[in-house]
Amino acid sequence: MNRRVVVPYPPQRIVSLVPSQTELLFDLGLGERVVGVTKFCIHPQEARQQAQVIGGTKNFHFDKIAALKPDLIIGNKEENYQEGIEQLAAEYPVWMSDIFTLGDSLRMMRQVGLITGTQARAERLASEIANSLLALPSAAEPLTAAYFIWRKPYMAAAAGTFIDDMLPRAGFRNVFGALGRYPEISAEQLAAAAPQVILLSSEPYPFQDKHVAEFQAICPSAQVLVVDGELFSWYGSRLRHTAAYFQQLQSEVA
């Protein structure tokens, strides 16, 4: 973010504005120091019970944050909103991540470890994730796929997203990889792209089995699957479970 952030070391009162980074903080053994989280911080289960919920990722309750007297706030450029972050940064140390690739996520984990005094634990975690994903077999001929994150309008994950970086690791080639970020996709565009596999993410739109027929009607020859969006898009410690999930997914598709 090209900003210098001065943080008391080690920070004792942390507010996390991003679900995947909240889970990371707990997995680094920092749960007792996390005093504020968002309503979307569902992992681990105790996060919203023992910490104050300070709103959503794009609508902060500034009065609740002020009452917590944080000495470190952790956010993300895509998941949070600029106006809110700037308002917080005027008063508190706000450290931001900006993540597009697996490499970015591993670097974020190591940096959070450095900032919070949990370097060794963060290094072990990052290495475990990197090794598990590197060990995945490469598909000789990746299946063409479209990954949908929204309905009405249909929106897909395309170039420049963390999901797009993860798809090849799962054995897929993104048919919308030439488009930018999260484009709206018409039924006609989807039919013309003719992916072999259509992946419907469980988040942010909660796709379910009942939506499969809707996409099957557009692409009758495609295999349509509802997939765990957290294991494709959460770029924190949840990635520990991603390699095993991708192997399971490859078996389903095969």
Q: Is 1's pLDDT higher than 80?
A: no
- pLDDT of 140 reads 83
- pLDDT of 72 reads 97
Residue type, 85: I
DSSP code per residue over 166-203 = HGGGGTEEETTTTSBSS-B--HHHHHHH--SEEEEESS
CATH topology of domain 14-133: Rossmann fold (3.40.50)
The model's pLDDT over 104-159, given as tens digits with 9 standing for 90+, comes to 999 999 999 999 999 999 999 999 999 999 999 887 899 999 999 999 999 999 99
**pLDDT (average), residues 37-64:** 97
Q: Is 98's pLDDT higher than 90?
A: yes
| Percentage of the chain modeled with pLDDT above 90 | 94
Domain with CATH 3.40.50.1980 in the chain: 14-133, 143-253
What is the helix (H) or strand (E) element at residue 34, kind and residue range? Answer: strand 34-37
Judged by phi (left if over 0) then psi (alpha if -120 to 50, else beta), residue 223 lies in beta
Distances from the Cα of 103 to the Cα of 98, 108, 229, 236, angstroms: 11, 9, 19, 12
- pLDDT of 38 reads 98
| Percentage of the chain modeled with pLDDT above 70 | 100
Structure tokens at 148: 């949908």
Q: Is 8's pLDDT higher than 80?
A: yes
DSSP code per residue over 99-138 = -SSHHHHHHHHHHHHHHHT-HHHHHHHHHHHHHHHHTSPP
- pLDDT of 19 reads 97
pLDDT bracket for residue 2 (50, 70, 90): confident
- pLDDT of 166 reads 97
Contacts of residue 90, Cβ cutoff 8 Å, sequence gap at least 6: none
The structural architecture, per CATH, of the domain 143-253 is 3-Layer(aba) Sandwich (3.40)
The answer to whether the pTM exceeds 0.85 is: yes
Q: Is 4's pLDDT higher than 90?
A: no
Q: Is 237's pLDDT higher than 90?
A: yes
- pLDDT of 139 reads 79
Burial of 170 (0-12, 13-18, 19+ CB in 10 A): buried
**pLDDT (average), residues 76-91:** 96
**pLDDT (average), residues 222-234:** 97
The model's pLDDT over 160-191, given as tens digits with 9 standing for 90+, comes to 999 999 999 999 999 999 998 999 999 999 99
| Distance in angstroms (rounded) separating the CA atoms of residues 96 and 3 | 9
